Structure 1
Amino acid sequence: MDIIEDLKWRGAINQATDQEGLEKLIHDKKIGLYCGVDPTGDSLHIGHLIPFMLLKRFQLAGHHPVIVIGGGTGAIGDPSGKKSERVLQTMDQVKHNEKCLTDQMTKLFGTDNFTIVNNRDWLGKLSLLDFLRDYGKLFNVNTMIHKEIVASRLEVGISFTEFTYQILQSIDFLHLYQHENVQLQIGGADQWGNITDGIDLIHKVEGAKAQAYGLTIPLMLKADGTKFGKTAGGAVWLDPKKTSPYEFYQFWINQDDRDVIKYLKYFTFLSHEEIDDLAEKVKKEPWKREAQRRLAEEVTKFVHGEEGLKEAQRITKSLFSGDIADLTADEIEQGMKNMPSAEVSGEKKNIVLWLVDDTKFEPSRRQARQDITNGAIRINGEKVTDVDAEIDPASHFDGKFVVVRKGKKHYFLARVTK
């Protein structure tokens, strides 16, 4: 099965400018293809992974992916689907974000058969007169204002700066076609207008027979109709400092049965046979959640490497079993980041008083004594049945945390203040 047929099977193609021509092109030779990302932040999130997974599949098939970091376009901001103008970032912030995104992309794509470029390198050299003479003349304003993203902003207004974004993105495609042998641009469904603009520009400059193509991916929605990639806590980031490997792993392992096979097709490199087998297991043994576990393993390993996956699995297993004594302070922080917590002093104290007065974990001393004598309370993974026992906050996890567990699932994190 060729790569286009594989992408169809995975449900990863929304629109293609000339699918038959593209299929013939990639059947005949290896091509260059690209996707761009503007440095509006210092990390990508999992929504960005969707088009980049397509680039990775092409790379694995022997084609040459190019990532464009939008140091030029990011300095002005695209209109996107927002109802207001973007706040312009300082150039120092843009450059910092560029470096962070470049590091993340290199981690995902490696260094073999892969190129990262920055469009500031060519857009930054354009004078205003060159821009107007060489490119402005080739774009029709009537066509530009009817582009979906621009049209949605006309009622509230759009600046000339954001209006010209589509021209700059078209120049990117032309430059990559001329200098990096790129013949295919990949983007989200909302990028269709910008992609076709780029192809039109290539045809106007290079001739109608120039082989340039566009491919967009479908909008990713969950089974309940909500947008993929958002959680109660916000975006799921690729930067482990923003979303830890454990949190990342948990996001994937908690996916709905109705979505998990779709995500296996989109976000993993498992074979059709493996995914079909997991689909059968979802139907016959959904309680085992084997498909979710495999999804979490594959995507976490792709983004955070083998070590990140092992760390996430170790924390998951320890919290599930209650055997947390061997976890590091950092792993406790990851695993219990969103659990109920309170700040406590570093002083030693009787367990009953500590549970009631310091943490408010127990509603009364009577209840605390009852839970302790019944063996329901564990401190740092160890069962405590003596109501006269003493809590020493400095005894575990570098003196930073005390972990309380009541029953099988009720965890509480006490953060030790210095």
Structure 2
Amino acid sequence: MRNVYDVLLERGFIEQTTHEKEIRELLEKEKISFYIGFDPTADSLHVGHFVTVMAMAHMQQAGHRPIALFGGGTAMIGDPTGKSDMRKMMTVETIDHNVECFKKQMSRFISFDDDKALMVNNADWLRDLNYIEFLRDIGVHFSVNRMLTFECYKQRLERGLTFLEFNYMLMQSYDFLELYRRYNCKLQLGGNDQWANILGGVELVRKLHGDQSFGMTFSLLTNSEGKKMGKTENGAVWLDPEKTSPYDFYQYWRNVGDADVKRCLSLLTFIPMDEIETITNVEGAAINTAKERLAFEVTKIVHGEEEAVKAQTAAKALFMGGAHGGSIPTTEMSQADFAEGMDILTLLQNTKLVPSRSEGRRLVTQGGVKLDGTAVTDPAAMITVDSFKENELLIQKGKKVFHKVIIA
């Protein structure tokens, strides 16, 4: 079996390492425990998390043991990395609920049977810490001067960095120490924005145990212009089908830029690299075949093959002019809702296609809305029961977003 380090490198995951040669040798000679942390700031993982989840899956396939660390403790503080303002504080109940949601989702991607992987919550050791002891035992090993040289803190100093957030690096470093002590965890993985926090943990293990531990970061999911992927007009692209439908999820990947297809196939699917090279080394419209493959494969991993087939069928039906195939996002309403007519702006809001009436008005007047293929340009247009064909109405927003309304 190939060294998983080379697999991750070839597919474009690896951005930085603390000790490249030693990590490569370690992954070649031993089956190690490694961890990735996930702060439960929402009740679902999103596609930004999915890059690290796929890295975990590759590592597990190579025989290494993943530890999915959920931040039931660190989420109470908030990581200042990449944030312009302090994160909104969440209640313990919200955090614990989010952790349970993460656990269910993670089980779809990683096998936790027979001790092949672990789920751990840092609330187990962080929430009941004795602050004085923590400062004496852990805080003494961190230089404030050095911490302030890291970009994650430098960016916030001008706008204001709270002492609360300043503790985050110590807490994440302590996580690595605890996992090393409890499970002989030797490697921490994370997004490239976690480099400073990972370094803190690596150095803490070395200082307190004289043992070598390692860190490795992955590229963030960005497009060819360097902008973060995974955002739409309606917010993040979630892995929870209740927050982002399988159809919308499929369509997001189907519509990525031509220059981003190869990178997304490499990071977000298990398709062999030689096959990826073949299907992306094309010109013009031929790249659409690779985009369809990308959308299908990622949707299959996240939502299962049945939902991927439904989404693909729906997308093809719409492309061919059909309105009723597959798993198009659907809203069910009653005939009474349209008895006296519903204006188009209200309909767009009720189906969550626009966040506000002003946005809906702009969209309509610019010709961005169609009902069953016919453009609607009057913001005062009324939708009645007679507007429905066989109790269904297909709304098209722009070129790529479709939504079906059914009345009962």
Superposition TM-score, scaled by structure 1 size: 0.80
Backbone CA RMSD of aligned residues: 3.2
**CA–CA separation in structure 1 for the residues paired with 2:142 and 2:401:** 62
The answer on 1:150 being equivalent to 2:149 is no
Provide closer, same or farther for how the CA distance between residues 413 and 105 of structure 1 changes in structure 2, counting only shifts above 3 A. Answer: closer
Residue of structure 2 equivalent to 1:363: none
Residue of structure 2 equivalent to 1:333: 329
Higher Cα radius of gyration? 1
Contact 1:70 1:120 in 2 (8 A): yes
Provide closer, same or farther for how the CA distance between residues 409 and 212 of structure 1 changes in structure 2, counting only shifts above 3 A. Answer: closer
**CA–CA separation in structure 2 for the residues paired with 1:50 and 1:312:** 22
Provide closer, same or farther for how the CA distance between residues 186 and 318 of structure 1 changes in structure 2, counting only shifts above 3 A. Answer: same
Contact 1:348 1:391 in 2 (8 A): no
What SS does the corresponding residue of 2:102 show, helix, strand or coil?
Answer: helix
User: Paired residue for 1:173, among 173, 176, 184?
Assistant: 176
Provide closer, same or farther for how the CA distance between residues 316 and 206 of structure 1 changes in structure 2, counting only shifts above 3 A. Answer: same
Contact 1:348 1:392 in 2 (8 A): no
Provide closer, same or farther for how the CA distance between residues 275 and 122 of structure 1 changes in structure 2, counting only shifts above 3 A. Answer: same
Q: Deviations over 1:358-393 (max 9, x none)?
A: 99xxxxxxxxxxxxxxxx9789xxxxxxxxxx9495
Residue of structure 1 equivalent to 2:239: 238
Contact 1:347 1:393 in 2 (8 A): no
Residue of structure 2 equivalent to 1:291: 290
Deviates more, 1:244-253 or 1:309-318: 309-318
**CA–CA separation in structure 2 for the residues paired with 1:226 and 1:411:** 25
The answer on 1:57 being equivalent to 2:53 is no
Residue of structure 2 equivalent to 1:386: none
Provide closer, same or farther for how the CA distance between residues 256 and 161 of structure 1 changes in structure 2, counting only shifts above 3 A. Answer: same
Q: Deviations over 1:4-57 (max 9, x none)?
A: 122222221111000100111111111111110111111111011122211111
One-letter amino acid of the structure 2 residue matched with residue 68 of structure 1: L
Residue of structure 2 equivalent to 1:320: 319
Pairing of 1:61-210 with structure 2 (within 5 A): 61-112=62-113, 113-207=116-210, 210=211
**1:81 Cα deviation (Å)?**
1.8
Provide closer, same or farther for how the CA distance between residues 269 and 333 of structure 1 changes in structure 2, counting only shifts above 3 A. Answer: closer
One-letter amino acid of the structure 2 residue matched with residue 174 of structure 1: L
Deviates more, 1:196-205 or 1:131-140: 131-140
Pairing of 1:14-53 with structure 2 (within 5 A): 14-53=15-54
**CA–CA separation in structure 2 for the residues paired with 1:409 and 1:265:** 25
**CA–CA separation in structure 1 for the residues paired with 2:212 and 2:67:** 17
What SS does the corresponding residue of 2:109 show, helix, strand or coil?
Answer: helix
Provide closer, same or farther for how the CA distance between residues 321 and 134 of structure 1 changes in structure 2, counting only shifts above 3 A. Answer: same
**CA–CA separation in structure 1 for the residues paired with 2:253 and 2:402:** 22
What SS does the corresponding residue of 1:14 show, helix, strand or coil?
Answer: strand
Q: Percent identity?
A: 40
**1:129 Cα deviation (Å)?**
1.9
What SS does the corresponding residue of 1:402 show, helix, strand or coil?
Answer: strand
Pairing of 1:358-397 with structure 2 (within 5 A): 391=386, 395-396=390-391
Q: Deviations over 1:186-217 (max 9, x none)?
A: 1111111110110110001111xx13110011
Provide closer, same or farther for how the CA distance between residues 345 and 191 of structure 1 changes in structure 2, counting only shifts above 3 A. Answer: same
What SS does the corresponding residue of 1:153 show, helix, strand or coil?
Answer: helix
Provide closer, same or farther for how the CA distance between residues 286 and 161 of structure 1 changes in structure 2, counting only shifts above 3 A. Answer: same
Residue of structure 1 equivalent to 2:350: none
What SS does the corresponding residue of 1:107 show, helix, strand or coil?
Answer: coil
Provide closer, same or farther for how the CA distance between residues 84 and 323 of structure 1 changes in structure 2, counting only shifts above 3 A. Answer: closer
Aligned residues: 369
**CA–CA separation in structure 2 for the residues paired with 1:409 and 1:251:** 9
Q: Which runs of 5+ in 2 are unaligned?
A: 348-370, 375-384
Contact 2:172 2:201 in 1 (8 A): yes
Q: Which runs of 5+ in 1 are unaligned?
A: 360-375, 380-389
What SS does the corresponding residue of 1:312 show, helix, strand or coil?
Answer: helix
**CA–CA separation in structure 1 for the residues paired with 2:136 and 2:314:** 60
Contact 1:69 1:119 in 2 (8 A): yes
Residue of structure 2 equivalent to 1:384: none
**1:268 Cα deviation (Å)?**
0.9
Residue of structure 1 equivalent to 2:230: 229
Contact 1:354 1:391 in 2 (8 A): no
What SS does the corresponding residue of 1:67 show, helix, strand or coil?
Answer: strand
What SS does the corresponding residue of 2:157 show, helix, strand or coil?
Answer: coil
**CA–CA separation in structure 1 for the residues paired with 2:180 and 2:260:** 37
One-letter amino acid of the structure 2 residue matched with residue 171 of structure 1: Y
**1:303 Cα deviation (Å)?**
0.7
Provide closer, same or farther for how the CA distance between residues 290 and 410 of structure 1 changes in structure 2, counting only shifts above 3 A. Answer: closer
Contact 1:344 1:415 in 2 (8 A): no
**CA–CA separation in structure 2 for the residues paired with 1:66 and 1:84:** 30
**1:105 Cα deviation (Å)?**
0.9
Q: Deviations over 1:211-236 (max 9, x none)?
A: 31100112332123422222233211
**CA–CA separation in structure 1 for the residues paired with 2:324 and 2:311:** 16
Pairing of 1:401-412 with structure 2 (within 5 A): 401-403=392-394
Superposition TM-score, scaled by structure 2 size: 0.82
**1:180 Cα deviation (Å)?**
1.5
**1:343 Cα deviation (Å)?**
9.7
Superposed structure 1 runs of 4+ greater than 6 Å apart: 346-349, 353-356, 376-379, 408-412
